[in-house]
Structure 1
Amino acid sequence: MVKTLKTTVECSGVGLHSGQRVTLKLMPGDRHQGRYFVRTDLPGEPQIPARIEAVNQTLLSTELAVGEAKVRTTEHLLAALVGLGIDVVRIEIDGPELPLLDGSAVQWVEAIAKAGTQTLTDEAIATPVVIEPIWLQEDEAFVAALPAAELRFTYGIDFTYKPIGNQWHSWSPAAEPFAQAIAPARTFGFADQIEQLKKAGLIQGGSLDNALVCDQEKWLNPPLRFENEPARHKLLDLIGDLSLLGTIPTGHYLAYKASHKLHTQLAKTLQATLF
């Protein structure tokens, strides 16, 4: 079946990289358009499909664009939408970057629950299946799509920072709800990189209220929501990036020390081979 929202819900907040305050509306959409953004602040209110073809750049977040119209840091909201089975939604936004909110997807989940859902058609959506293993690697980092009987995501990270170290998390939607297992995991960063990133024009809206931050020895803003919250957040990012396929093919997605660049490269490879 194809699901959309029942009513409109509004969220406001600050973009992670732009530092710009924006207002975003999640609205029922046209069943033939899937998930798509509308830049209401630009002339003509251009639409940007939440599709892999629209990926513009992937530096520390995923940005989509059509012509000069862009929308950045789409992954947390898109993960929430696909994680809750929302196939169709119109997303109106009055700026170039989605609000980070608390750095996780939990407030997006709450907003979707507030809006409610409705079924547009009972017609089943065909879900592609991963038939052959696909591996993409960049130095130590890799992503893979492997044949599997059910959808599963497994993510590993490895940092020299003691609070994180080596972490893994594996999650299957059939076993545990997205809203409880993945959505609460917040984005994270490192105290010794903040000044450099800000000088580069990034993380202008970042704070201890919307990201976990650690130094070499400890977390600066505990407590964590999960012992392996950073690994779970990277898994959340992967789901959001793969949602750009429209429907995530059935398979086991495995990633280690990967990035939005590798996530979206895998999505493009899957699109070329399965869709």
Structure 2
Amino acid sequence: MTRQRATTIGFTAILMWALLALLTIGSAPVPPFLLNALCFGIGGGLGLIWLALGPGFDVLRGISWKVYAFGSIALFGYHALYFTAFRIAPAAETGLIAYLWPLFIVLLSGLLPGERLGPLHILGALIAFAGAALILLGRGDTGASVPVAGLVLAFLCAITWAAYSVLSRRLGQVPTESVIVYCLATAALSLLVHLAFEETIWPASRWGWLSVIALGLGPVGAAFFTWDVGMKKGDIQLLGVASYAAPLLSTLALVAGGRAQATPILLLAAALITGGAALAARASLRPVRPAEDG
């Protein structure tokens, strides 16, 4: 698989994550960890069917339990921190801190063997982050005070996802099918937390169930598989900067779905995000070569 193709596959995860907010709203009033268990259960279950009809279960043999533990803890930990942070602190501030993960991916990727972090990568990441900040801060969530604990959890959330994404590059020899185990383990852990701390509330309508299923198929399912391909074999820096398109696309999806209103700030945010990604893309222009397995 070429670097360019792997990068394109990675982009599809960003597109799927753009529907995360809209579908999450539609899944109400399902509590967070139950929703997590349902969605990851759907994603992992479909992965098992794909595995049975395709490469077979033998592909999962020989993978170290440490790898499975790493992926499972990362996916579960990220979502646990994410949901808890949004319960404690206002959405705008929490979302802004949580969306530091693309910037961290770009910066941390420079430490990987064979990768080079240039000035345009850094400048593009900062410009794109400014666009994401405009969207998140422009939602109108205000308050007299912002709980520090919530912001700390959001920061840890960003660090967790960035570390998982970058370290996945070091696991390039591990087949993407391993994500199936990550998803199923995350579903099991989420179910345990739900049973211990949450009240069981199922979707209240057909749209609610459709939203849960759509989440399991896309943003909390297939997206993790395509993101894994992009992180392991694609242009990790370009994907990191392009991830800033997620809050923009998410906002546009909410507008299209009647859950938010279009504002002039979206135009400026779009220009900043597009410009930042363009700078990173220019910095990444070099002869396309096949991705290495390691």
Does 1 or 2 have the higher relative contact order (CA < 8 Å, sep 6+)?
A: 2
> Which one has a larger percent helix, Structure 1 or Structure 2?
2
> Which has a greater percent of strand?
1
Same fold (TM over 0.5): no
TM-score (norm: length of structure 1): 0.29
Q: Which has the larger radius of gyration?
A: 2
